[in-house]
């Protein structure tokens, strides 16, 4: 859960690698990839595709999110342990839709929301630069054009964004990539493994000392 350029995909990749390392069959389902596969990134990557007044795009984005979610549930049905649903999931309504789909799958799957909250300008700028330089959405733009378009995409999401509420169940909120962490109803292996790991992730370089 989170606005664009808040580190959601970075966190998803980190958690996926960690869970695989611990022996758990894990896969990430990135809704942005589904979008780019379905609609040319030159069109679907533009900020107006994320405008709530663009009704056709709203329908298309919902369809792609549901396709990714269906694949995530199938992965779990086929024996997967953790499915990471990498998307903005920016409203209570969207998160309820996801929760209902998971519940109606007929298995006792648990949901843990991980929300990336970021208001540190340096961290946001780092994330934005990384996104415009490496995302297929911006390949046809100059860096300056891409930054302006990304800022407009973020503004579109800010108009509808709703933070995760206590009533939505288990969640972990990471503020500025773990400078502060908030947890709600996290028990069992989540408390023992995933929460401590998320508390330790960062984007800064740190020295590693090897001794013998």
Cβ burial, residue 155 (10 Å; 0-12/13-18/19+): middle
Q: How far apart are CA 161 and CA 170, in angstroms?
A: 19
pLDDT value, residue 48: 96
Instruction: Look at residues 81, 70, 82, 77 and name the one whose alpha carbon lies nearest to residue 31.
Output: 70
Taking the model in full, what pTM does it have? 0.92
Q: Which two tokens stand for residue 125?
A: 């700028």
Does residue 206 sit in helix, strand or coil? coil
Higher pLDDT, 188 or 55: 55
- Over residues 64-102, the pLDDT tens digits come to 999 999 999 999 999 999 999 999 999 999 999 999 999
With both helix axes pointing from N to C terminus, report the angle between 31-38 and 55-77 in degrees, rounded to the nearest 10: 120
pLDDT of residue 183: 94
CB neighbours of residue 27 within 10 Å: 16
Q: What's the CA gap between 132 and 1, in Å, rounded?
A: 20
């Amino acid at each position: 859960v989170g606005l664009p350029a808040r580190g959601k995909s970075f966190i998803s990749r980190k958690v996926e690698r960690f869970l695989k390392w611990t022996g758990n069959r894990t896969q990430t389902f990135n809704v942005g990839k589904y979008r780019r596969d379905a609609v040319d990134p030159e069109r679907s990557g533009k900020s107006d595709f994320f405008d709530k007044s663009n009704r056709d795009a709203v329908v298309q984005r919902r369809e792609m999110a549901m396709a990714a979610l269906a694949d995530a549930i199938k992965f779990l049905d086929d024996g997967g342990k953790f499915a990471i649903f990498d998307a903005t999931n920016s409203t209570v309504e969207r998160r309820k839709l996801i929760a209902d789909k998971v519940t109606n799958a007929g298995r006792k799957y648990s949901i843990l929301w991980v929300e990336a909250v970021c208001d540190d300008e340096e961290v946001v700028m780092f994330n934005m630069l990384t996104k415009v330089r490496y995302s297929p959405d911006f390949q046809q733009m100059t860096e300056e054009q891409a930054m302006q378009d990304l800022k407009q995409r973020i503004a579109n999401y800010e108009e509808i964004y709703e933070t995760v509420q206590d009533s939505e169940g288990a969640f972990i909120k990471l503020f500025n990539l773990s400078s502060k962490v908030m947890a709600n109803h996290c028990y069992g292996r989540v408390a023992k493994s995933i929460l401590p790991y998320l508390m330790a992730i960062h984007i800064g370089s740190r020295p590693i000392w090897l001794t013998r």
